[in-house]
Chain A
């Protein structure tokens, strides 16, 4: 019941918010989403880190004739992404306290619905269910950008929606093909369970494109590559981010992009091992191009938010590089970098939103000398910047280091090129920091200085947990890596024959299995 509650309680919260008058929307949704985070902590506490199997599994028939079921479960790969979602949602709601003034109720309903669909995506273990959540999450985000966005919001939101939808349709086709394949394997009964998919042996011919495994892999990969977004499918991202309201940007960058990389980890890599191995060079190449390209383009952006958006392209490139390096370092680093990016880019978007609320400008050239006018804001911003450019002792370093190590081991040339991104990353972030915070006073700073540009208490409360996490994850990464270690090792070691078992702590045979293994070992 735990996981179902985790998925559907936000929808109940949304109903509650809808039923109450608009003036209660903010506090009620903040309280409820905060409660939900506490609830997810219960999950974290009860999570068994020693096993790679799925835990807290729930399975129910949904469309029996096609083998589609309501099937949710959690393992080390999804654990932290779920936690990230429940963690960011209340912060985002608090962060948008004054930013959203129009249709407040609708906004919070969308926010909570979004939380439900995102958690659902990370927990679904049935391919169709996964697809449903994956797509359903587009809807609240579509409204969020389309209603509360900036001037070109309709263009941006339509572009965002159609782009991602386009990719997912290929995934749907591939999914159905896989379901037919299970029918053969299971002797007539179709199944959409991802666990059954893992058991498939999909024919693969090296060197050819037109064979089922390669085609299916690319169908999935296209959907995820657009979501991540990988170069050259990234152009929806800057538009969506620039037009989205602050909370939309935070959730989009913080969680939704990870659906793509999570999809690679959950479906792309284990389902099509031969194709992944054969084509990994292509994805590593695109990842490296994305890292460098994103960094270069970020460097010349005139708009802070667009700069951060392009930096996302660069950072997500690291994640993909790590995943396709497919060794323990790369996978661990990739997963860790997903969390890092969620926190540091989320924090960057929040902070950009905070200053935008006061000055209504994001033009870098209009700023300058902000450090004098807003010292606390500057301190936090610089800390987040350091996290973003992966200075040791912040979270970013652990992820980037492991990814680069993994990438370097898998392919020294790509690894070395990706290391260049470290330099470029520092360049664009620090150049922006210099132009915005240092130097002489910019026109916009002079104009709004008297109104007070520094953080207020509410904003400090929003930022505090993020800053704490930046250091916590940077100094004690083992606290976090512990949770996913078993799952990642399992994935790395059994790439060709990846399967997931279902963990049932109450069953006795678990301990028996271990003893049997020991006997065999002797």
Chain B
């Protein structure tokens, strides 16, 4: 039963690959999408991908430092989501627009 074998022997690499996939997806979301809300979601995804690798490293090395770090990250993620969403709402209210390309005020 090679299939079940594969599922039984879930190792560190699997977690890390998943984390990398999640991170890449999040990053693509941040870099490519134009909707502010989606970008915020992408950031959340990236943060959580990082959390996942923290936890897996922590678990496999028997060291709790990683898990502690995750708490910090979650807190910050929550704060960021709150501020980010608030900004998005504020921007939307002002400009009726949440497309990020609309705000290229820094164009050289």
A and B touch in the complex (CB under 8 A): no
